[in-house]
Amino acid sequence: MHMADALISPIVGGAMWIASGTAATVAAKSLRRHAESSNVPLMGVMGAFVFAAQMLNFAIPGTGSSGHLGGGLLLAVLLGPEAGLVVIASILAVQALLFADGGLLALGCNVFNMGVLPAFVALPLFRRIVADRWTRPRVIAASILAAQVGSLLGASAVVIETTLSGIASLPFAAFALAMLPIHAAIAVAEGLITASVLLFVQRAQPDLLARIEHRPAHARHVIATLAATATIMSTALCWFASNEPDGLEWSIARVSPDAGQGRLAASRIHDTVASIQARISLLPDYRFRAAEPFDDSRAWGTPDTGASVSGLLGGGITLGAVVAIGLLLRRRHTRKPADPAPATTGRRWQA
């Protein structure tokens, strides 16, 4: 559901940058007040895991479309909504800056649609259904229903943001009728993936899910397994990703094949942002710059060095960025001057 800049006007893009930036700032301040160094490794590894998982597009049978894990709900459940938002925002920023996946102007939209909505709207539904009883049926039902809410709200937001921008020739009703059903189907897969990860964590370390605000000091087994899984997904499983267009691309092509040309000429801001993104992207579209244009007809499972390098590099950078943010927030918290203590003779410490 990564939106491209071609769908967004500078006004809408700027407004969503402000909205998402405000939400991320509030989340970061909350994390700083409740800084726990034990959370930081899990945040970093989960960032790398979701980055890798988003490279694995899966086909939606009978549609000619594909989808991938959004990850916002999974991150919010495991890390809490504030940490989850910080991590997904870091993932989306790395994707846009280094891999040209999602527009820079549209980054605020993508953070809001894939981060804010799952963390602060879908997560409360998940918690209400589970109700601290982490049985398999409850986790599966909660994951699927919450994923549906987050995905459909995100898809609706894409439609609204695109319509308000007035750039792409996509009729509101037709675009919504294409976007919502396909993302409802994608959300079923996202819910099952989310439930699978949560059930694994529950078996490996149930106390990690027992409390939302305060995490246990050690989650070595969970972290090691997720890190190994992310590495495998990044280096090899990405070769088996579906070549079909994702839900957003499929919806645009279904509604208006000429929508990408837009009704309005690209603004100077669009040109400037596109130029910046082209210069800073190390591996655009997760391929080497010198590589041939992407071939949709390539054999499924064909080794792709560019994709493997992109997965490892992107996952590593995401992990490093999230850990750096977490440590920075903790450092600022620990350096906050304490309230002056009243003078004491020490008698109050005596038995």
In this structure, what DSSP letter does residue 121 have?
A: I
Confidence band (pLDDT; 50, 70, 90) for 330? confident
User: Is 108:130 a contact under the CB 8 Å cutoff?
Assistant: no
Q: How far is Cα 298 from Cα 242, in angstroms, rounded to an integer?
A: 11
Q: Is 58 helix (H, G, I), strand (E, B) or coil?
A: strand
Q: Is the pLDDT of residue 332 over 80?
A: no
Q: Using alpha carbons, select from 276, 326, 270 the residue that is nearest to residue 90.
A: 326
Q: Is 67 helix (H, G, I), strand (E, B) or coil?
A: strand
> Tens digits of per-residue pLDDT, 141-197?
999 999 999 999 999 999 999 999 998 888 999 999 999 999 999 999 999 999 999
Residues 6+ positions from 345 with CB-CB distance below 8 Å: none
Mean pLDDT, the chain, rounded, equals 87
In this structure, what DSSP letter does residue 46 have?
A: H
Query: Which pLDDT belongs to residue 221?
Result: 84
Q: Is the pLDDT of residue 74 over 90?
A: yes
Q: Average pLDDT of 108-112?
A: 98
Q: Write the DSSP assignment of 194-210 as a string of letters.
A: HHHHHHHHHHH-THHHH
Most confident stretch, 296-300, 312-316, 325-329? 312-316
What architecture (CATH level 2) is domain 5-289+319-334? Answer: Orthogonal Bundle (1.10)
Pairing type for strands 65-67 and 58-60 reads antiparallel
Residues 6+ positions from 217 with CB-CB distance below 8 Å: 38
Q: How many CA atoms lie within 13 A of 65 on its CB side?
A: 21
Please state which of the ranges 8-12, 59-63, 166-170 shows the lowest mean pLDDT. Answer: 166-170
Structure tokens at 70: 């959004």
> Tens digits of per-residue pLDDT, 244-265?
999 999 999 999 866 544 444 4
Q: Report how far Cα 76 is from the mean position of its chain's Cα atoms.
A: 10
Q: How far is Cα 1 from Cα 287, in angstroms, rounded to an integer?
A: 20
